[in-house]
Amino acid sequence: MASYVYVKSPDNENLWVLGELVATTKTNADVKFFNEVNSVDLSLYPNSELPRANVDPATSKLLIYPDLAKVPFLHEPGILFNLKERNRLGEPYSFCGGELVVAVNPYEWLNHKYTENIQKMYSNVLRDSIIGFEPHVYYTSSLCYQSLVKTGRNQSILVSGESGAGKTETVKILLRHVAYLSEMSSSTTTTTTNTNTNTNTNTTTNNNNIVKKIVDTNPLLEAFGNAKTVRNDNSSRFGKFIRLQFSSSQLVGSSCSTYLLEKSRVVSHSENERSFHIFYELLAASPIPFLSDHQDFNYLSSNIENEMAETIEGETNTERWAKTKNALALIDIAGEQLTTLVRALVTVLQVSERSGGG
Ligand SMILES: Nc1ncnc2c1ncn2[C@@H]1O[C@H](COP(=O)(O)OP(=O)(O)OP(=O)(O)O)[C@@H](O)[C@H]1O
Ligand SMILES: [Mg+2]
């Protein structure tokens, strides 16, 4: 029966390929991949052994597990192949033993994964048991919410990953789910205790409003704190700590602290990257009272026309400016205050013009 292994790609040692083991000696192995038999130097592998692949010998098909902890041969290529194959099948999420969920960025919106029905399915998850649940970040948000309600103690969700992994989007998905759970619990409480329906409506509206505010003010944070980088068109160039405040099981408030803003990006950025979105949004907005059309701002780039033409997440600078203005209005920055803010931003650009970018 055929035996399968993972080998490092001959072109790039950071990539793994799946191959069929043909023969092996103490120092070398013959492995068939890319349709030919290749000699592999075993000294490049720990204990001079090739990592075994999770392949069903009877069918020669990869074995895929929703929970990474269940992968029989657990090593780097085993995990990567499992995640890759699941994502190919439309499953971007995998469990890692329980509370930990690994998300692969699918780079396309899988709307059926975030419907109200799916949110509801994850409203009652159990600690220590993922049985009956498909991997999803809703499992994490639900566990977090339920632990909060049951224990009355603070809970945290940590979303981490490299640039472009999908942290910012995942946080939004989690926030909406926590709001949904809180909203559901207020409806349940009202139904079972049969108290005033108006209270329920008010609480529900309140939950919605708080999360709507958090999500709707996001364009503001993104305008001033996000920029196009070579890895992500909408890269957060700052850290963010969002705190949701609950009274019993009800969402009653929130706060957001930001830190580590990459301020140096205001004065310079690498080729093929951009400064913070807000500057392009401003230039696209018309009319801006203090700005003439064709000024050459050194803090942006000589390639400004191309940069201006770029869309971020499918939205033009003008469309994004409209959202930023709405977000500013949500926190009561409009009218004269907005004019002052615009004036300050324009001044930054004009400084770069006068000083020649120094
Ligand atoms: N769950 C998802 N479904 C579909 N597309 C997604 C999802 N998560 C992220 N994306 C896509 O990937 C892009 C990058 O994601 P995001 O901005 O969340 O990355 P990030 O981890 O916050 O990166 P950075 O550290 O640079 O801020 C998004 O703009 C979006 O197009
Ligand atoms: Mg981000």
Name the 3-class secondary structure at 184: helix
Predicted local confidence at residue 344, as pLDDT: 93
The CA 323 to ligand 2 mean position distance, Å, reads: 18
- How far is 312 from 235, CA to CA, in rounded Å? 10
Predicted local confidence at residue 355, as pLDDT: 54
Q: Using the predicted structure, report yes or no on whether residue 27 has a pLDDT greater than 50.
A: yes
Predicted local confidence at residue 290, as pLDDT: 63
- For strands 250-259 and 101-103, give the pairing: unpaired
- Residues 266-305 have pLDDT tens digits of 999 998 899 999 999 998 886 666 666 556 788 887 677 7
Q: Which two tokens stand for residue 152?
A: 């009355």
What DSSP state is assigned to residue 88?
A: H
Predicted local confidence at residue 199, as pLDDT: 42
Predicted local confidence at residue 198, as pLDDT: 42
Ligand with minimal distance to 164 CA: 1
Q: Which two tokens stand for residue 270?
A: 């690498």
The fraction of the chain above a pLDDT of 90, given in percent, is 65
**How far from the centroid of its chain's Cα atoms is residue 5's Cα?**
32
For residue 191, name the pLDDT band (cuts at 50, 70, 90). Answer: very low
> pTM for the complete prediction?
0.87
Name the residue at shortest CA distance from atom 16 of ligand 1. Answer: 166
Name the residue at shortest CA distance from atom 25 of ligand 1. Answer: 163
For residue 152, name the pLDDT band (cuts at 50, 70, 90). Answer: very high
- How far is 73 from 53, CA to CA, in rounded Å? 7
The fraction of the chain above a pLDDT of 70, given in percent, is 89
Predicted local confidence at residue 193, as pLDDT: 39
The CA 255 to ligand 1 mean position distance, Å, reads: 22
Predicted local confidence at residue 197, as pLDDT: 38
Q: Which of 107, 110, 233 to mutate to test the pocket of ligand 1 (most atoms within 8 A of CB)?
A: 107
For residue 136, name the pLDDT band (cuts at 50, 70, 90). Answer: very high
Q: Which two tokens stand for residue 60?
A: 């020669």
- How far is 237 from 8, CA to CA, in rounded Å? 34
Predicted local confidence at residue 190, as pLDDT: 47
- Mean pLDDT score of the chain: 88
Name the residue at shortest CA distance from atom 11 of ligand 1. Answer: 107
For residue 206, name the pLDDT band (cuts at 50, 70, 90). Answer: low
For the 90-259 domain, the top CATH level (class) is alpha beta
Q: Using the predicted structure, report yes or no on whether residue 187 has a pLDDT greater than 80.
A: no
Predicted local confidence at residue 196, as pLDDT: 40
Please state the rounded mean pLDDT for residues 3-28. Answer: 94
Structural domain 3-59, CATH architecture: Roll (2.30)
Predicted local confidence at residue 213, as pLDDT: 78
**Bridge partners of 312?**
315
The CA 133 to ligand 2 mean position distance, Å, reads: 28
Q: Which of 232, 262, 320 to mutate to test the pocket of ligand 1 (most atoms within 8 A of CB)?
A: 232
> Which has the higher per-residue pLDDT, 130 or 240?
240
Name the residue at shortest CA distance from atom 9 of ligand 1. Answer: 166
Predicted local confidence at residue 201, as pLDDT: 47
Task: Kindly list the domain boundaries of the chain, sorted by start residue.
Answer: 3-59, 90-259, 263-354
- Residues 90-121 have pLDDT tens digits of 999 999 987 899 999 999 999 999 999 999 99
Predicted local confidence at residue 340, as pLDDT: 94
Q: Which two tokens stand for residue 17?
A: 């390929």
Name the residue at shortest CA distance from atom 5 of ligand 1. Answer: 107
Predicted local confidence at residue 249, as pLDDT: 87
Which residues does a 6 A CB cutoff place in the pocket of ligand 1?
Answer: 105-109, 161, 163-169, 232, 234-236, 313
> Which has the higher per-residue pLDDT, 188 or 147?
147
Beta-strand runs (E) in the chain: 3-8, 16-24, 28-33, 36-41, 55-56, 61-62, 93-95, 101-103, 226-227, 235-236, 239-247, 250-259
The CA 225 to ligand 2 mean position distance, Å, reads: 9
The answer to whether 225 and 258 have CB atoms below 8 angstroms apart is yes
The CA 158 to ligand 2 mean position distance, Å, reads: 13
Please state the rounded mean pLDDT for residues 71-80. Answer: 96
Q: Which of 105, 177, 221, 236 to mutate to test the pocket of ligand 1 (most atoms within 8 A of CB)?
A: 105
